[in-house]
Structure 1
């Protein structure tokens, strides 16, 4: 039943857009009453969150290919940003629901529930990548991965939190700007600008003598 309502919500999003999802529409499409939907979901935002996650599969499938382009942790991490920007700015409303909007609940709990149900989404992904995806808080996802760069001597431990938080705020700010139409930029331009700002933020904390080890070619 839980999956049935999530799939119905996905249908509404595909036909009418995520901003037009209502409990009544989902219930009608599934052939049940609104009260039945509330037996499985505390509020609409939870249902929309779970449905939005169904639209991230292309990103998850793409991620290993981007990571493989890097030869060290910083390069790999920057390429994960390229992948994330590509997909998140292509579907900004979807990614805002997952990473920005107020869910009225603990996001980690919702994510754990989601992947218990849709565990197949993770099949074939290397274990380190699974751990990143299963960590919902964006800055913690970054810190979890970037920490390995400390062992490689590319950054200092004190800089992990800084670049994790800073790059997350850059992305959130640009995504919000796009959604609110506060700048006259295309989603492709916004994705590239975000990626450029992320790159510059990271390079600032890398010791000068180590910067030559970072060679990324964004498309």
Structure 2
């Protein structure tokens, strides 16, 4: 890699890191060219030398946050036995990640993605993420005849909508009113969904 390519990669990295910091700490409403440039330590005009617009940066952040969450979940669940126990652990770690980073949850599930991203595939990246994290374990459960393929399809949908709803209520309305109460509600919901049958 030549010096110019290294410099470009480094500069892009500064702007991506600044955007991720803002999204984590302040949320998507604080994203602007000026805020990103200030956080990165460069002028806003410099940002346009490396990115078409802020939407390009947001898309890259969505991809990075997905990878970060995936690594977090894998780290938390790698020693958990396969099947329903690991499914439960994966879903719990997924919820835990978003509780720690409500700005990322807001970016993924609250913001209208078409307003902040011009790439068609971003909504699918977000909506299919929990399913993607659990896919190997769903397949394992079907293979071991713990669940049928039809049961798995219904459970995937219920878990996507239910976990998203739990997070929306807790992060935006503080219902339930404590983290422990949230964990209890989430655990009960996950257990109910992972039972045999639909």
Residue 2 of structure 1 and its aligned partner are, at CA, apart by 2.6
- Pair 1:17 & 2:26 matched: yes
- Pair 1:138 & 2:129 matched: yes
Which position in structure 1 is the counterpart of 2:188? Answer: 196
- Pair 1:162 & 2:154 matched: yes
User: How many residue pairs get matched?
Assistant: 180
Partners of 2:69 and 2:174 lie apart in 1 by: 28
TM-aligned CA distance change 1:196 to 1:109, over 3 Å: closer
Residue 97 of structure 1 and its aligned partner are, at CA, apart by 1.5
- SS of the equivalent of 2:51 reads coil
Residue 200 of structure 1 and its aligned partner are, at CA, apart by 0.5
TM-score normalized by the length of structure 1: 0.65
TM-aligned CA distance change 1:34 to 1:185, over 3 Å: farther
RMSD: 3.4
- SS of the equivalent of 2:195 reads helix
TM-score normalized by the length of structure 2: 0.71
Which position in structure 2 is the counterpart of 1:68? Answer: 79
Which position in structure 2 is the counterpart of 1:92? Answer: 102
Residue 176 of structure 1 and its aligned partner are, at CA, apart by 1.3
Which position in structure 1 is the counterpart of 2:168? Answer: 176
Partners of 1:183 and 1:170 lie apart in 2 by: 14
- Pair 1:102 & 2:112 matched: yes
Residue 13 of structure 1 and its aligned partner are, at CA, apart by 4.6
TM-aligned CA distance change 1:109 to 1:182, over 3 Å: closer
CA contact (8 A) 1:143 1:161 kept: no
TM-aligned CA distance change 1:194 to 1:184, over 3 Å: closer
Which position in structure 1 is the counterpart of 2:143? Answer: 151
Gaps of 5+ in 2: 1-10
CA contact (8 A) 1:89 1:187 kept: no
Partners of 2:32 and 2:180 lie apart in 1 by: 30
TM-aligned CA distance change 1:191 to 1:47, over 3 Å: farther
TM-aligned CA distance change 1:41 to 1:200, over 3 Å: farther
Instruction: State the Cα deviation string for residues 135-157 of structure 1 (Å, max 9, x = none).
Output: 86135426623122111010011
Residue 205 of structure 1 and its aligned partner are, at CA, apart by 1.9
> Residues 199-214 of structure 1 correspond to what in structure 2 (within 5 A)?
199-205=191-197
Gaps of 5+ in 1: 112-134, 207-219
